[in-house]
Chain A
Amino acid sequence: MGADVSVKGVWKRFGAGDGEVSALEDMSFTVGVGEFVAIVGPSGCGKSTLLKLLAGFEQPDRGEVLIDGRPVLAPSRRGIMIAQRGSVFPWMTVRQNLDLALDGTPDPDRHQIIAQHVNLVGLAGFEERYPHELSGGMLQRVEVARALVAKPDLLYMDEPFGALDALTRLSVRNELLRILTRDRPTCLLVTHDVEEALHVADRVFVMTPRPARVALVVDVTAPRPRRMSSPELVGLKERILTELGLSAADVT
């Protein structure tokens, strides 16, 4: 399980003429097999764009996006995106959404796998509901469950817990970490929450404002489970916030 990622000199622009926006300029980095990388950066800098290139939703203007050394030409089940705007199909029930994501799994196992993942995100009893009958946070949990059901080698998470309250956020995050230790996919998580990044990641990439580049890479070596109050993590948090142009005093 897992795959390695290599981004080499990638450029991405949108629009043309006066409206042209450069989202990524000459971005390069690598992520190892099974590694967990968190990405933080200012709003609108190009984080979602980066994940879309990795997932094969969009193609770079220049440069290469390689998974296991091969260019990503189209989306595939190997790398699943948890989209920032949500992409659970609203015309299907929770069960049908998960079932569609299972694809080639033999029938006898499907029911059990779906039940297991629905339980995992705390949505048992809501299998037959339609997305518009769920709360925003419940819907995000469906999105997470649907991605995990596909057992991807790479998991791209774009603010997956954005609509969750602090408490649910923490419990879903812990559940997710537990499953991830089971499947060990390579993970890229975009988050605006620096503590969340430090809680889960092996490395944290801090982006510059648009066009995005990797301004700082922070190695998080603290053993898991991590306590956010440990001096090491507090120090790292301060470094990241400083890089983002804030001081810890501004936030706490």
Chain B
Amino acid sequence: MTKILPIGVLLGVTAVWWLAASGSTIFPTPPEVLRGIAGLATDGTLLRHVAASLYRVTFGYGVAMLLALPLGILMGWYRTAFTAFNPLVQMLRPISPIAWIPLAILWFGVSDLSPMFLVFLASFFPMVLATTSGVQLVEREYLWAAQNFGITGFKLFTHVIIPGALPTIITGMRVGLGVAWLVVVAAEMVAINSGLGFLIIDSRNAGMRYDLVVAGMVMIGAIGLLLDLVMRRLEDLKEVRWRYARGR
């Protein structure tokens, strides 16, 4: 049932798309898109573009995680750190990463670093926010118990604060990866000449190949789904199951 239902919905939407697009000149049909994907796959372009996008996301997101988690933990635990950094974070957060594109190109040129920087910006803030509130929401009862048993210093963080905040942190990591994937495509449309975003814009510019435009979109969606499935596996860890008591 849990497998049939989503597959059924996907097939249904594809059928509606097919019906609506047949005979239309402004919307490619599913078979045309499939042929497009097959064509890109056989000559190796697809793999090259997918690898380029994933590579940029991995680095941008990885660096964002390395910085966001410690900062979030500090801001969540130490009042002074929160007071000091929260206004800055709240001010930078609403600036869309897209708005940074001109500066990114100015600073990093047309290189992998530009999209990486934008991916970093996009995923950093959701992860800081989630980590901060995760730490702030660790229940008093657990902190009291920790103090009671003499758990202090580094051990307090590794054994109580971080595990207590982990479910929220993981949610933040999921959101962060989602927007990272969103932003890498946008960045590749303007700031570089490879990747799925470039594939889409290039297919249009080079020959009005809208079948390939949609093929690129479908690939982005499919990879996004895979990434989220991987992240959701984290929520199945025994260490965090307590937070999702209702199960799935």
Contacts and interface: CB of A to CB of B under 8 A. Distances in A.
Given A55-B148, A100-B159, A130-B242, 13 more contacts: A74-B147, A77-B148, A77-B150, A81-B148, A85-B141, A87-B142, A89-B160, A91-B240, A92-B163, A100-B149, A101-B149, A103-B149, A132-B245
A163 to B, nearest CB: 15
Interface of A: 52, 55-57, 74-77, 79-81, 83, 85-92, 100-101, 103, 130-132, 150
Interface in B202-248: 238-242, 245
A89 B144 contact: no
A208 B147 CA distance: 31
Chain B CB count within 10 A is highest, among A86, A90, A100, for: A90
Given A87-B142, A91-B166, A77 B242 contact: no
A158 to B, nearest CB: 11
A-B pairs, top 3 by smallest CB distance, nearest first, are A90-B242, A87-B145, A91-B163
A132 B148 contact: no
Contact of B151 (A55, A100, A132): A100
A104 to B, nearest CB: 9
B164 interface: yes
Given A89-B163, A91-B163, A91-B166, A76 B148 contact: yes
Given A76-B150, A77-B150, A103-B150, A83 B144 contact: yes
A91 B150 CA distance: 18
Contacts of A100: 149, 151, 159
A132 B241 contact: yes
Contacts of A103: 149-151
Contacts of A86: 141
A89 to B, nearest CB: 6
A89 B149 CA distance: 12
Nearest to B167: A91
19 contacts: A52-B144, A57-B147, A76-B148, A77-B149, A79-B148, A80-B149, A81-B144, A86-B141, A87-B142, A87-B144, A89-B159, A89-B163, A91-B242, A103-B150, A103-B151, A130-B241, A130-B242, A132-B241, A132-B242
A75 B147 contact: yes
Contacts of B148: 55, 57, 75-77, 79-81
Nearest to A103: B150
B244 to A, nearest CB: 9
A56 B145 CA distance: 11
B239 A91 contact: yes
Given A130-B238, A131-B242, A89 B150 contact: no
Contacts of A131: 242
B141 A87 contact: yes
Contacts of B151: 100, 103
A80 B149 CA distance: 7
Nearest to B239: A91
Interface in B99-141: 141
Contacts of A150: 149
